[in-house]
Amino acid sequence: MPAPQGPTYRPHPITTPEFGASWGTLPMEKSVTVAMTGITSTDAYKQVAASRLSFHVVEVINNEVICAGMDPSNMLCLLHCRVEPTGNLTFTVKTSQQATLSDMETRLLPSLAGGASAPQ
């Protein structure tokens, strides 16, 4: 299933050290939990991150996946996702753009569950 209609993101291949260095420089942060049946492993989430979110998977560490993408205004957006065996995906989004943060929270991430999300 493709990403929902709206602004387009694109993968941004970076290394884990680059991800870590960038994480601390991005001033805007939001946590969002999405309940998604069928995504109970990091392997399943990695496919969704690439195909639906258009983000580059940087690394998988246990049940956590870090990803990087460029927003429509060509600014960096980082995702940290904790994949629970119950199908809950807990995201932390880091960016420098309020519009990107809002779009991720209200459109892109909730689209994974057909619109259901629970901001934290």
Query: Range of 39's domain?
Result: 10-119
Give domain status of residue 74, yes or no: yes
Give domain status of residue 3, yes or no: no
Give domain status of residue 59, yes or no: yes
Give domain status of residue 1, yes or no: no
Number of domains in the chain: 1
CATH number for the domain harbouring residue 93: 3.30.310.10
Which residue from 58, 60, 81 is spatially nearest to 68, judged by alpha carbons? 58
| Distances 104 to 61, 85, 86, 115 between C-alpha atoms, Å | 23, 23, 22, 12
**How confident is residue 114, by pLDDT bands cut at 50, 70 and 90?**
low
Dist. CA 74–CA 88, nearest whole Å: 29
3-7, 33-37, 69-73, 106-110: which is most confident: 69-73
Q: Beta partners for 27?
A: none
Q: What is the mean pLDDT of residues 90-108?
A: 94
Question: Does the pLDDT value for residue 120 go beyond 60?
Answer: no
Tell me the per-residue pLDDT of 17-75, one tens digit each, with 9 for 90 and over: 999 999 999 999 999 999 987 888 999 899 888 888 899 999 999 999 999 999 999 99
Dist. CA 97–CA 34, nearest whole Å: 22
Give domain status of residue 5, yes or no: no
Query: Residue 56, SS3?
Result: strand
